[in-house]
Copies of this chain bind each other. A is one copy, B any other.
Amino acid sequence: MIPATEPFVVNGRRYAPPRRIVTVVCLDGSADEYLDAALARGRMPNLQRIAAGGYRGMARAQMPTFTNVNNSSIVTGVPPAVHGIGGNFFYDTAAGEEVMMNSARFLRAETLFPAAQKSGRKVAVVTAKEKLRDIFASGLIEAGGIAFSSEKAREAVLATHGIEHVESVAGTTPSIYSGEASIHVLRAGVRLAEAGRADFLYLSTTDYMQHKHAPEDPEILDFYAAIDLEVGHLLKLGAVVGITADHGMNAKQRPDGSPNVVFLESELAERFGPGFRVILPITDPYVVHHGALGSFAQVHVPDGADVAAVMKAISALPGITEVHTREAAARLMELPPDRMGDIVVVSGRDAVLGRTPAYHDLKALAGGLRSHGGRYEEMVPFVISEHLTPQYLARARSDVRNFDIFEFACNGVARKH
């Protein structure tokens, strides 16, 4: 039995976790279609039981639908306007440089993990991608918790990760470009929970497989079956399991299979001359996934540019679905204005935004381009292993957000009759 702990409050939300293992899983890039395809083929029997006996619905992710943005929202419970991470990447206009936001120093709100640890829970955070670890670990290791990535599992040491000899717990450090990178995360969580080393877990996978495979592909069906197996282990341990995603995933191709890219910087240079800087906040060290092509861009215009004329020109490009001023996008998408461009651009279900043809290595995408970042990757699965209370059921059916998931897993579980 987990000891009784005091409720804790983080960023204005109150969390009162039950005396059970609480696990939130973020399945990176898990469009609902992946679950549908695996369920239809009987490959996810544990999720099947949850869908019938607990809650399975949809939640709205955070725009832009990127990994860092949404993981940061999930672990803080607030939108980027508060936590500050509005992309994997932004252009620091003061410093004149493009900055990767892989570090907790960009985080403007605390995560809920240090407070959970201090309240008496044993917190463990496992992520596939090392790029997220620093954000997740913020304040947690000092408080006594655990945080490591499967990507750098063998490098984890007690002082900075709260754990060592991770490979003996969860197996050999996998390649980040594999399905095993994600399964390793879940297996690590199961082993830590089994061993009593953690009772409050966040497990965040990588979308390498989803970038590479459509929902019906045999490889990804096997992948989801392996996920389901680990979910089953968590359920057997008596855990409350919440499952969501940071974003969905869509084919961004023409019918002939070629990538459907709007090269914004080229288009703007041609019409308005040089000086435009297009920031693609999907950009990260894992370019094999997506070639830095997603459905969302920030545009910095040169001094003296006619912003309204530029916006109108962008709006008229095929594949573009939204064009906003910084101010409008910050309000609509709850983004931090000081880390945005002058114009925000979003593209459609089958289209991505690029800078110039020379900037992107399309050869890396020979197998086809599946990506995310826009509105058509905004609705994601929202699953809780238990019956919800009437109050939380009503919220789940309303405009629930993926970053409500920790609150649901902690507070939303109906007592069994």
User: Using Cβ atoms and an 8 Å threshold, which residues of chain B touch A305?
Assistant: none
Q: Please tell me if the beta carbons of B350 and A255 are within 8 angstroms of each other in the complex.
A: no
User: Using Cβ atoms and an 8 Å threshold, which residues of chain B touch A58?
Assistant: 33
Shortest Cβ gap from A165 to chain B (Å):
40
Tell me, yes or no, whether A394 is within 8 Å of chain B by CB.
yes
Shortest Cβ gap from A358 to chain B (Å):
26
Chain B, residue nearest A254 (CB) = B398
User: Using Cβ atoms and an 8 Å threshold, which residues of chain B touch A251?
Assistant: 397-398
Given A36-B36, A40-B52: A255 in contact with B57 (beta carbons within 8 A): no
Tell me, yes or no, whether A296 is within 8 Å of chain B by CB.
no
Interface membership of chain A positions 17-53, coded 1 if the CB is closer than 8 angstroms to chain B and 0 otherwise: 0000000000000001100110111100000100110
Q: Give the copy number.
A: 2
User: Using Cβ atoms and an 8 Å threshold, which residues of chain B touch A9?
Assistant: none
Within 8 A of B (CB), among A188-233: 214-216
User: Using Cβ atoms and an 8 Å threshold, which residues of chain B touch A103?
Assistant: none
| Bound form: Cα–Cα A253–B348 in Å | 28
Tell me, yes or no, whether A60 is within 8 Å of chain B by CB.
yes
Q: Please tell me if the beta carbons of B33 and A255 are within 8 angstroms of each other in the complex.
A: no
Tell me, yes or no, whether A375 is within 8 Å of chain B by CB.
yes
Q: Please tell me if the beta carbons of B257 and A394 are within 8 angstroms of each other in the complex.
A: yes
Besides A36-B36, A60-B349, 10 more A-B contacts (Cβ < 8 Å) are: A33-B57, A37-B51, A39-B39, A41-B52, A257-B394, A315-B328, A322-B322, A348-B399, A375-B375, A376-B379
